[in-house]
Structure 1
Amino acid sequence: MVPKVVTDETLLDIVKRYSQYYALPEPLVYAVIHAESSFKPNAVSPAGARGLMQLMPGTALEMGVTDIFDPEQNIAGGTQYLRKMMDLFGDNKSLALAGYNAGPENVKKYGGIPPFEETQSYVKIVLGLESSYAGGAPVSSLRVASAKPLHRIQAAPSKGAYTVVFHSGLTQPADKVEDKEPYWYIEYANRVYPVRKDLVKTVEKG
């Protein structure tokens, strides 16, 4: 894979266009990108999330993303999914962010922000970052060295009890996979993602 790059000018344009299209505050989108990937287009998390807005492979496919590392496609898919979470939780920003981080099923299960340390921290940090960007954080600060993602970034996803292989060729680990037509419910590190079966090529053990 040829590493993707994106200039500040291009990033600002992409975020502005898709924030407006999906009726999201631009500072919120910057905050999510900052927290998720530290503005690194080629970022991969242990759970298998990828790109600037750290889309899971199944989510990316559902959002119409064909190149998960392409900055514009990733932001288009990420903002679409964030809007989906906002709609699902009545424009409650905290619940939408919790759903983005831990999966909407966990938010429904616990009737609010799940009691996971990472998710609780994620919501607080993203909202704090949003305030910073809304307060006029300069463009140059988007790429400062101190901007670190909230989870570890690595070259490839970690291993789980199962490996979910998508038709796109991407994979993600799973601790547990449940068959609930027409979805696979994929669980990994407290996160639960419903993924349409037609997007999955195979589920392999180990």
Structure 2
Amino acid sequence: MVGTSSSSSSSCASFGSFDDISAAATAKTSSAAAATGTIKFLCSYGGRILPRYPDGKLRYVGGDTRVLSVHRSLPFQELEAKMKEMCGWEKVYLRCQLPTEDLDALVSVTSDEDLANLVEEYDLATRDRLLPLKIRAFLLPPPPPPPKPSTKTPSPPSTFPIAASSCSAAAARSISPSFHSHASRAPLPADLRFFLHPSAAAAAAAPPRFHP
């Protein structure tokens, strides 16, 4: 019985040693991956993020997906240049998925500080893994430019009737009352007198009398 107990004790010790060795190997592999200084981006572009039927879970549909390996000390501007060259765009917007988040919580990467924080998040998530995680990246094109305003100038509203009436009123005010009294007594042409009453025609035919 004593021997059996000793055997069990040594067996437990061996299992404990195996766990320690496995954990040490995992840490060694992760540290070795970090020591190489290489990080990988799993880049998708040209597609869309859509809900999946029937559970509604978001997924990336269409486009292309490529792996981009760069040194972890690469500045953001150089990383952006490599991504623009990969997708063939003049401008690219980088949005990445954090290891613990879904596709509805992407983060924008626009500077060296953003890139360093992103790499740190993935390093923390890779501590218990044999192989480092690929950084999930989505490349977005620049938004389309706003529509240009119409160059056609609308024609101004017509003011001719108002101007004409204004001119007529001004002309009427500039004429003296004596002119109206003289003009109203001017003889009518003979060819228009037959439209009038005989008494009116006789009065129209009479010579005008001017008052001083």
On whether the aligned pair clears a TM of 0.5, the verdict is no
Which protein, 1 or 2, shows the higher relative CO under an 8 Å CA cutoff with sep ≥ 6? 1
- Which protein has the larger Cα radius of gyration, Structure 1 or Structure 2? 2
Report the TM-score when normalising by structure 2.
Answer: 0.21
Report the TM-score when normalising by structure 1.
Answer: 0.21
